[in-house]
Chains A and B, each alone.
Chain A
Amino acid sequence: MTLRFALRMAWRQMRGAWRHFLTFFACIALGVAALVSVGTLAASLDGAVAREAKALTGGDLELRSARPLDAQAQDALARLRVEGARTTAVRELAAMARHPATGATLLVEIKAVEPAYPLYGRVQVTPPRPDHPLVADATALVEQPLLDRLGLAVGDGLLLGAVPFTITGVIEREPDRAASFVTLGPRVMIDAGALEPTGLTGFGSRVRYRTLVRLGEGASARAAHEALERAIADPSVRVTAFDEARPGLRRFFSQLTTYLGLVGLASLFVGGIGVASSVAMFVRRQLSTIAVLKCLGAESRALLAAYLVQIQALAVIGSLAGAGLGVLVQPALVRVVQPFAPIALEPSGDVWTLVRGLLMGTLTALLCAVWPLLAVRAVPPSLILRRDVQAAGWRAPRPWAAALPIAAGLAALAFWQAGSLKLGAIFVGAALVALVVLAALARTLILLVRTVPPGGGLAWRQGLAGLRRPGGHALRVVVALGTGVMLLVAIALLEANLSRQIAFERKHEAPSFFFVDVQGDQREPFAGLVTRASGGVAPALTPVVRGRLAAIDGVPLSRELVEAKRAAAPDKVWYFTREYVLTFAAEPPAGTAITRGRWWTAAEAAQRPRVSLEDEAARHLGVAVGDSLVFDVQGVRLEVEVMSLRHVDWQSLAANFFAILSPGALEGAPLTYVATARVPAAAESELQDQVVATFPNITAIPVRAVLERVAALFAQIGFAVRLMALFSITVGLTVIASTLAATRHQRLYETVILKTLGATRATVARAFAVEYACLGAVSGLGGVLLAAVLTWVVHRFVLDAQWTLELLPLAAGAVGATAVALAVGGLATLRLLGRAPLAVLRQD
């Protein structure tokens, strides 16, 4: 037996049966397109971050801290400058900007830059300005939203603190603004020398100090990085090189593209159902050819090889077409993602992504096709001796021994795409559960139809009978449609839950404002003003001081220790390096949930300083009740004993603290106050304007507006996810249409018989409608059930968030599925109704 025979047979078969494989082709192509478009998006995000790394970082190196650099750090920088490096200091802080005439105010992010800024990249400004100096004296560059919100234009004045600035341009792009996706407000860029006079950097204010370094020609960023880390002992000064630019940004993108990729993989796997069913149908049609070939002396293995070659060839062509489609779709995806990417994205055709997509497509097709193809081995050559009746009734034994390797292969593909064990496991688990549940539902439906004596009219009886048509179309339709419904409803449920969590109106404990930097002597007048402006709501004032963690249980937090923690859990290291906002309290704040230890008594508080720690922070710091912590409060070391751990629901957005100290612990510390107030929505902007007018140093953070920004980001992400889900839906519909089309011949025959017996077209159409509606309803029910379970799992184990059952998406899913089944089924069989009975009967 030769390979040549297999190849030749494959080619000839394909030539004759290509039309049959349109579904196969479409399923694979769409699935691969989904994966390739996401993969190339990921590649272009990666490429853009790498390309813009120096501009994103602001230099070859960046030093970042919450306090001005100490002498040690300054010396180290001076040494670099001697070696030819250029450095520039940037300070960033959130503060209030004010319209000089109307008094309207807005929370903005101020950036104070020196003339040397930027070291890499350009700040794009309209109208164009010389690069140096960007800003000078009392001029400011702002982002467009500030002009819109305050009703200002270029050339107008703007108050920062008590100092007037003139707006000289609008910032279109700022190379190193990628710190966070949700900003507190629009950017205002001013000259470094103009910051102090505003009074915003006074006592207690939160300034982020960044020093950007551009090394001399030929200097190694790595060497300079190591030298700086050696020279600067303080671990809270973060040193980063451009090649590790924005790890948070990269993580976010890689997570986003991973999730999108899983939605894409779901399309490919739904496509796998289409592949399996079209191959099964193909094998049924080929039964007599297979038997003849066996009669002529072809071995089963050779035939299997011939068919596998054929299927693989189709899969490769389908995958290639899919890859092409994916590359075509990618610009649309890039456009959707661009608004929350801080860098300019360009569509890319990453070769590895294409290869990977092709592999995914061909392997999925192979694995899904093997199951029905194995039947080729079992076809008895004697089939041609018996007459057509028997041949049509012949069924291949299920190749159960192959089930495990096939399932394992598909699972391996899922893990490969997911890129993580946890996500892969969730995906595989979800796929298996979906398959089992939907298959069980389909079987139950068929069983019910079989056992329950059908009542009602002809259409009803005929429709129900149609469900148990041989060939298993019910199973395939329910699995394909159910999976699609599951995906769509799950996405809708996730979005509904997320928007519920960030909907301000639902957060009854959330204040309308956080006011920060209220000074001690401003307390009385501030409280009075808020009370008057809000119609009698007194603000809650909490004394705070900022301090960073210096030691845990006697072990100093050295740079080495912090770097080790960063390597272990990069997104948890901030527990070690952040500036903690410390407060003190004699009594536990209302609603405190102690999880370990207990609150202090007055006597215990008097003994020595104690702390109540938030439990998650304690977990990541590795701290238990009884351990000691040392905080560095403005240069003063404060040792405290952990006396209790508390659980904090941060999502309530009520004022909360990681560390609450016992009274007296902060005696003599330079306290400022944080105030919160919940006021009626209508009074919000008026209150903000009045507070800022009276106390220019106080920053008012409007919670509602910030949540709205978060919601906008989520909406954008949700759009990207839905775009990907569209692929799955299209594939699902293709599978359904082709499955129903496969029952065409039988339906045509039934239609004709019924019409011959005097049934009107309407009756026949009603019978089909009953069948489709049943299939749709069962798929819909199964899909929404699975979606509810899936989103619960995702909330519980991935997002670690609370889950609420949203009824609207569930109902919409169930109803939608029924409608879709009716529509697709109707379209697939509408033409049958018009056929003249005699013509059909004569053919038979």
Chain B
Amino acid sequence: MIQVRDLVMRLPSGGRSLTILDGVTFDVKVGEVCAITGPSGSGKSTLVGLLAGLDRPTAGSIVVAGVELGRLGEDALARFRRETLGYVFQSFHLIPTLTAAENVAVPLEIVGVPEAPARVRELLAEVGLADRAHHYPIQLSGGEQQRVALARAVALRPKLLLADEPTGNLDSATGAQIIELLLALNRERGSTLVLVTHDEALARHAGRVIRLRDGRIVNGQP
């Protein structure tokens, strides 16, 4: 599903160049659940962002679902994202001016799915928010917002689901529910899941763990 080779990411910071990722290489197979862990600042979020084509690496190559991301332009990347993957953010990133249902509908409408309203109802029911469809994000709790975000992420049945610290802004009980839901949704759809977390307990749910430290993979070491 994913082949990452010699990935390097440097960002300018205060006039100097800061290395975020430093020669990262790994593969993720189709259907695998893979956790990326590491302390904050280790480059986890940047790595998963690069997998989604949200930014361009300084060096190295990323192939997702057979597509070499480096070859795509800005709009082709956007198309790639909606055709291939779903994305869950740590801080939900619901659009504040849209209701829960409308937020879930956005990816369907971007593609122009005709039966969008029915699909939205199903999706919201699946995450247990059928009765909150017409609430605005500000009227929802953090857990509810993240469930809306989950429904939005899986709306187009992506082959790959990327989740960047999905429980980072939630208390542990709510976080656990979200993870269960995430895994369930992934299982039902048979998609590949890449989950970023600094929570080792969470990582245990994954079939495979990639540990990052200072921009390098340190698997097997403490």
B-contacting residues of A (Cβ < 8 Å)?
1-2, 4-5, 8-9, 12-13, 15-17, 288-289, 292-302, 380-382, 384-385
Can you offer 27 A-B residue contacts whose CB atoms are under 8 A?
A: A1-B112, A2-B112, A4-B109, A4-B112, A5-B109, A13-B97, A16-B97, A16-B98, A289-B95, A289-B96, A293-B106, A295-B93, A296-B81, A296-B106, A297-B82, A297-B107, A297-B111, A298-B106, A299-B78, A299-B79, A300-B74, A300-B75, A301-B75, A380-B54, A381-B54, A382-B55, A385-B45
Q: If the complex has contacts A301-B75, A381-B54, A382-B49, are A296 and B97 also in contact, measured as CB distance less than 8 A?
A: no
Give the docked Cα–Cα distance between A288 and B94 (Å).
10
Least CB separation from B98: chain A residue: A12
Give the docked Cα–Cα distance between A13 and B52 (Å).
26
Q: If the complex has contacts A380-B54, A384-B93, are A295 and B112 also in contact, measured as CB distance less than 8 A?
A: no
Least CB separation from B106: chain A residue: A296
Least CB separation from B56: chain A residue: A382
A-B contacts, CB under 8 A, total: 83
Least CB separation from B102: chain A residue: A12
Q: Is B169 an interface residue (CB 8 A)?
A: no
For B109, the chain A residues whose CB sits under 8 A away are: 2, 4-5, 8-9
Give the docked Cα–Cα distance between A35 and B89 (Å).
50
Least CB separation from B95: chain A residue: A289
Q: Is B110 an interface residue (CB 8 A)?
A: yes
Q: Is B32 an interface residue (CB 8 A)?
A: no
Residue among A294, A296, A298 with most chain B CB within 10 A: A296
Asked if A295 and B87 sit within 8 Å, CB to CB, the answer is yes
For B96, the chain A residues whose CB sits under 8 A away are: 16, 289
For B198, the chain A residues whose CB sits under 8 A away are: none
Chain A nearest CB: distance from B84 CB in Å?
9
Total interface residues on B, using CB and 8 Å?
31
Chain A nearest CB: distance from B109 CB in Å?
5
For A384, the chain B residues whose CB sits under 8 A away are: 54, 89, 93
Asked if B78 and A300 sit within 8 Å, CB to CB, the answer is yes
Asked if A296 and B75 sit within 8 Å, CB to CB, the answer is no
Give 1 or 0 for each of B101-115: 1 = CB within 8 Å of chain A CB: 010001101111000
For B102, the chain A residues whose CB sits under 8 A away are: 12
Chain B nearest CB: distance from A126 CB in Å?
66
Q: Is B199 an interface residue (CB 8 A)?
A: no
Q: If the complex has contacts A295-B87, A297-B79, A385-B46, are A17 and B97 also in contact, measured as CB distance less than 8 A?
A: yes
For A5, the chain B residues whose CB sits under 8 A away are: 109-110, 112
Chain A nearest CB: distance from B9 CB in Å?
11
Asked if B97 and A15 sit within 8 Å, CB to CB, the answer is yes
Chain B nearest CB: distance from A302 CB in Å?
7
For A301, the chain B residues whose CB sits under 8 A away are: 75
Contact of B83 among A1, A297, A380, A385 (CB under 8 A): A297
Which residues, 143 to 177 on B, are CB-close (under 8 Å) to A?
152, 164
Least CB separation from B74: chain A residue: A300
For B54, the chain A residues whose CB sits under 8 A away are: 295, 380-382, 384-385
Q: If the complex has contacts A1-B112, A384-B89, A384-B93, are A295 and B106 also in contact, measured as CB distance less than 8 A?
A: no
Least CB separation from B76: chain A residue: A299
Least CB separation from B84: chain A residue: A297
Q: If the complex has contacts A4-B112, A5-B109, A288-B93, are A297 and B81 also in contact, measured as CB distance less than 8 A?
A: yes
Least CB separation from A1: chain B residue: B110
Give the docked Cα–Cα distance between A385 and B88 (Å).
11
Asked if B78 and A298 sit within 8 Å, CB to CB, the answer is yes
Give the docked Cα–Cα distance between A15 and B97 (Å).
8
Chain B nearest CB: distance from A183 CB in Å?
64
Q: Besides the contacts A1-B110, A289-B96, what 8 more A-B pairs have beta carbons closer than 8 Å?
A: A5-B109, A15-B97, A289-B95, A299-B78, A300-B78, A381-B78, A385-B45, A385-B46
For B89, the chain A residues whose CB sits under 8 A away are: 384
For A296, the chain B residues whose CB sits under 8 A away are: 81-82, 87, 106-107, 110, 152
Asked if B95 and A293 sit within 8 Å, CB to CB, the answer is yes
Q: If the complex has contacts A381-B54, A385-B54, are A297 and B97 also in contact, measured as CB distance less than 8 A?
A: no
Chain B nearest CB: distance from A291 CB in Å?
8
Q: If the complex has contacts A289-B95, A293-B106, are A385 and B55 also in contact, measured as CB distance less than 8 A?
A: yes
For B49, the chain A residues whose CB sits under 8 A away are: 382, 385
For A15, the chain B residues whose CB sits under 8 A away are: 97
Give the docked Cα–Cα distance between A793 and B112 (Å).
57
Asked if A299 and B75 sit within 8 Å, CB to CB, the answer is yes
Give the docked Cα–Cα distance between A310 and B26 (Å).
44
Give the docked Cα–Cα distance between A295 and B49 (Å).
10
Chain A nearest CB: distance from B54 CB in Å?
4
Give the docked Cα–Cα distance between A189 and B76 (Å).
85
Which residues, 88 to 141 on B, are CB-close (under 8 Å) to A?
89, 93-98, 102, 106-107, 109-112
Give the docked Cα–Cα distance between A298 and B77 (Å).
10
Chain B nearest CB: distance from A217 CB in Å?
68
Give the docked Cα–Cα distance between A155 and B97 (Å).
79
For A4, the chain B residues whose CB sits under 8 A away are: 109, 112
